[in-house]
Structure 1
Amino acid sequence: MKGTGPLAGYRVLDLGSTVAGPYCARLLADFGAEVVKVEDISGDSVRGIGGSLDGKSFYASTILRNKQIISIDLRKDQGRDLVRRLVPHFDAVVENFRPGGLEKWGLGYADLAQLRPGLIMTRISGFGQTGPFKHRPGYGVIGEAVSGLREMIGDPDAPPSRAGLPLTDYITAVYAAFGTVMALLARERTGQGQCIDASLFESAFSFMEVSVPTYDKTGEIATRAGTRLPGCAPNNLYPTRDGRHIHITALADQVYRRLAAAMGQPELGTDPRFAEMTVRVKNQDELDEIIAAWTSGHDLAELERRLTEADVPASRIFNMKDIFEHPLFREREMLLQVADDDLGTVTQPGIVPKLSGTPGRVRWSGRRNGQDTRVVLHDYLSLSDGEINALVRDGVVKDDQV
């Protein structure tokens, strides 16, 4: 099934593994690119992360969706030769090997660009293709630690915490996909290919935006602030009477005054301690105590109703049960029922962003390792069944069509 989105007609060879590389290629596939993932015969480690059912990885069902999957042993000369033969058929290659790893196999950009003039190569690594740390191994959370972002997560009286998902891998993958599309657009004008160098630590560091000039000019070191967002108030999580929590954000002065009115305390809107953002920040502890006292006297649902009617941004903290039960996610097509060869159907996150004229779509769920080996080798390289069978016997490729 061919893609029909804005990237339809482009072909991407995905040499990535785990999260950052495969998610970058998945984003391109969601918007119509024809993506072939080259997976190690032993299986991508992402298949071992998270839950599974009857041997089928839930993670693989989403992060590998919309891709054909060919299983190749790149440690064998014949395996690497298959990649070289595939490359001329593709517009872009996505990879997240440690810098220099592909070069040792003769699969670096200089090698592959000779086979496919105009090739785009998107390279994701822990610390970049150049620099003093380029040869260090790096997972997303390590790049997050180096970037300063990890210092910002958690409570100020506790060690740095983390989000319970590979946040920096996803951040980097989005940048890498953005870079890939920009490079493809540039090639339309120049005819020239190029490399995209997307590092985990730099992608995370880019989110430290205001902390950089702040330190430069004041020496202030940004650190953890718990449930608050430093420098703006009120913007915090508050307790409710029924033991839940509600996050309220009323940054702009007019929004803050609407909050004060909804609380039945309109005088707080003109109180000189809180009337303007600059003074609210200085008196944030006192203001948070006042708001918490109010929220503690009401149940969560009542608070949400009142604040919604008052046009004040506020929400409970959703868990996955809440998400599945709330109409917002289904009406916005963010919970999709996708056919899966092994699971029957499986619910997956929807497409982001939503394009009005050339939307992305989920064409199929993530497939088994090697499920498309025979099809890819036949369609792209015109190999016969006999030739493919020989490669399977020699352990060069894996075929899992059944």
Structure 2
Amino acid sequence: MEQNKNRQPLDGIKVVDLTRVLSGPFCTALLSDLGAEIIKIEPPTGDEYRHVGPFRAGESALFTLINRNKKGAVADLKNPGHLNRVLELAREADVFVENFKPGVADRLGVGYEAVRAINPDIVYASISGFGQSGENSQLPAYDLVVQAMSGMMAITGEADGEPTKVGESIADLVAGLYGSWAILAALFDRQRTGLGVHLDVAMLDCLFSLMPTPVAQWMFSGEAPGRVGNRHPLSTPFGSFSARDGRVIIAVLNNRQFSALCVAMGRPEIAEDPRFRSDEERTRHEPALRDLIESWLSGQTVESAIDTLSGAGIPASPVLEMRDVLARASRGERQLLQTQQHPRLGPVPAMMQPVRASAWARPEPNTAPELGEHDDELFG
């Protein structure tokens, strides 16, 4: 049977989106990329991200990127008439997403029980910092706080340096990603059972789930791992090394690759050194091995080293600056960035969802809505 390549997997799915800032809007943006109709409800003052720069012509770049492909409406949930409007939208929706502090949605009249009362099979997702219950549930949930409490900062940075955050709001983003994943699973489950569900997505839980390596280090030893800089905590050589004109990433995961590295450096005998005969021994003697590798690299440019290593089948790369990454994303065949037409800014970049499917349409991105742009359409 010939596949219809104009379809999107979430065509016909309606999502009421009461989220703001990053975790929730990223979750619903991912759903919108797959064809879901996202109805973004904002307070009269707008989503906080409308007021976070960088700006051009009064428009926030962050808000524009994260709220693509959505319809926008304004509702003051403390106004009974506005609350009823939102509940009427929820009555016809498949999914309801909020990322208020736990308890706030209930107080505003849009909590799970209130929405389920009018739409029993709703898929309702609550995204928060520390979950809907538990000792930390009422703590403020900024990304940096979650990174600090997750242990992610404790294992990031140089061994003799201070804990370092990841260079992006990773806790917000991974919570949004897990939220979209859970919503899709819930929609599939509802198709089989006819039952809705309340999803409790905690930023801390989601970020912790991305750390199997430190858990594995602790698992048998009982000792918590610390920071090791840019090298891998369990495999060596696996990290960043200094060449004549920059840094080279070398990623060796087994003895075969290590032997190939030694040959590529013109030092095949190193592979027979008792200090380096296994991954565990190489990691134990990492400083000595690093000295040998960087002694070779001192006579190599980044480009020549990567040519030699890649030719030998050894995973290697330069450390690209963000300007180079952005240039590649804009012109590359994978279309990580496309151009969208903004009514006030003209053509601006749009981030695309990264998964490519043989039978799904990849439509042109639509820009984020103006505040209250679709009030008339949604509320009459």
Asked whether the two chains share a fold, i.e. TM above 0.5, the reply is yes
Partner Cα separation in structure 2 for residue 161 and residue 327 of structure 1: 27
Where do 1:204-243 residues align within 5 Å? 204-212=207-215, 214-215=217-218, 217-242=220-245
Aligned-residue offset at 1:140:
2.1
Q: Is the 8 A contact 2:129 2:203 kept in 1?
A: yes
Of 198-207 and 334-343, more deviation after overlay is shown by: 334-343
Query: Could you say which residue in structure 2 is the equivalent of 1:135?
Result: 138
TM-score, normalised by the number of residues in structure 1: 0.89
Would the alpha carbon gap of residues 193 and 259 (structure 1) be closer, same or farther in structure 2, given more than 3 Å must change? Answer: same
2:84 to 74, 77, 81: 81
2:280 to 278, 281, 301: 278
Secondary structure of 1:273's counterpart equals helix
C-alpha offsets along residues 76-130 of structure 1, whole Å, 9 cap, x if unaligned?
A: 2222121111101210011110111010112111110111120001111111111
Query: Could you say which residue in structure 2 is the equivalent of 1:304?
Result: 306
Query: Could you say which residue in structure 2 is the equivalent of 1:319?
Result: 321
Would the alpha carbon gap of residues 209 and 86 (structure 1) be closer, same or farther in structure 2, given more than 3 Å must change? Answer: same
C-alpha offsets along residues 321-358 of structure 1, whole Å, 9 cap, x if unaligned?
A: 21243379611111212222222111223322212222
Query: Could you say which residue in structure 2 is the equivalent of 1:119?
Result: 122
* Structure 1: unaligned runs, 5 residues or longer: 378-382, 384-402
2:189 to 163, 186, 189: 186
TM-score, normalised by the number of residues in structure 2: 0.93
Work out whether 1:30 is the aligned partner of 2:42.
no
Secondary structure of 2:300's counterpart equals coil
Q: Is the 8 A contact 2:17 2:39 kept in 1?
A: yes
Query: Could you say which residue in structure 1 is the equivalent of 2:3?
Result: none
Q: Is the 8 A contact 1:16 1:94 kept in 2?
A: yes
Of 212-221 and 308-317, more deviation after overlay is shown by: 212-221
Q: Is the 8 A contact 2:17 2:28 kept in 1?
A: yes
Q: Is the 8 A contact 1:124 1:198 kept in 2?
A: yes
Would the alpha carbon gap of residues 261 and 361 (structure 1) be closer, same or farther in structure 2, given more than 3 Å must change? Answer: farther
Identity fraction in percent: 30
Secondary structure of 2:249's counterpart equals strand
Work out whether 1:108 is the aligned partner of 2:108.
no
Letter of the aligned partner of 1:367 in structure 2? P
Work out whether 1:253 is the aligned partner of 2:266.
no
* Structure 2: unaligned runs, 5 residues or longer: 1-5
1:14 to 6, 11, 17: 17
C-alpha offsets along residues 374-397 of structure 1, whole Å, 9 cap, x if unaligned?
A: 2222xxxxx2xxxxxxxxxxxxxx
Letter of the aligned partner of 2:371 in structure 1? N
Work out whether 1:71 is the aligned partner of 2:37.
no
1:160 to 151, 163, 168: 163
Partner Cα separation in structure 2 for residue 274 and residue 268 of structure 1: 7
Would the alpha carbon gap of residues 359 and 158 (structure 1) be closer, same or farther in structure 2, given more than 3 Å must change? Answer: farther
Secondary structure of 2:332's counterpart equals helix
Would the alpha carbon gap of residues 328 and 284 (structure 1) be closer, same or farther in structure 2, given more than 3 Å must change? Answer: farther
Q: Is the 8 A contact 2:152 2:165 kept in 1?
A: no
Work out whether 1:343 is the aligned partner of 2:366.
no
Would the alpha carbon gap of residues 325 and 370 (structure 1) be closer, same or farther in structure 2, given more than 3 Å must change? Answer: same
Aligned-residue offset at 1:24:
0.4
Query: Could you say which residue in structure 2 is the equivalent of 1:292?
Result: 294
Would the alpha carbon gap of residues 163 and 175 (structure 1) be closer, same or farther in structure 2, given more than 3 Å must change? Answer: same
C-alpha offsets along residues 116-173 of structure 1, whole Å, 9 cap, x if unaligned?
A: 1200011111111111222222122212222211211111212211123211111111
C-alpha offsets along residues 276-311 of structure 1, whole Å, 9 cap, x if unaligned?
A: 212211111111111122222211122222222222
Query: Could you say which residue in structure 2 is the equivalent of 1:352?
Result: 354
Would the alpha carbon gap of residues 258 and 369 (structure 1) be closer, same or farther in structure 2, given more than 3 Å must change? Answer: farther
Letter of the aligned partner of 1:253 in structure 2? N
Q: Which runs of 4+ in 1 moved over 6 A?
A: none
Would the alpha carbon gap of residues 231 and 42 (structure 1) be closer, same or farther in structure 2, given more than 3 Å must change? Answer: same
Secondary structure of 2:96's counterpart equals strand
Q: Is the 8 A contact 2:330 2:337 kept in 1?
A: no
Secondary structure of 2:209's counterpart equals helix
Secondary structure of 2:127's counterpart equals strand
Partner Cα separation in structure 1 for residue 266 and residue 216 of structure 2: 40
Aligned-residue offset at 1:5:
1.7
Provide the aligned length of Structure 1 versus Structure 2.
375
Q: Is the 8 A contact 1:12 1:94 kept in 2?
A: yes
Letter of the aligned partner of 2:190 in structure 1? R
Secondary structure of 1:150's counterpart equals coil
Partner Cα separation in structure 1 for residue 368 and residue 258 of structure 2: 46
Would the alpha carbon gap of residues 212 and 250 (structure 1) be closer, same or farther in structure 2, given more than 3 Å must change? Answer: closer
C-alpha offsets along residues 3-55 of structure 1, whole Å, 9 cap, x if unaligned?
A: 94211111111111100000000001111111111112212112233412111
Query: Could you say which residue in structure 2 is the equivalent of 1:389?
Result: none
Of 28-37 and 351-360, more deviation after overlay is shown by: 351-360
Of 265-274 and 118-127, more deviation after overlay is shown by: 265-274
Partner Cα separation in structure 2 for residue 176 and residue 266 of structure 1: 49
Secondary structure of 1:152's counterpart equals coil
Q: Is the 8 A contact 1:308 1:314 kept in 2?
A: yes
Secondary structure of 1:224's counterpart equals coil
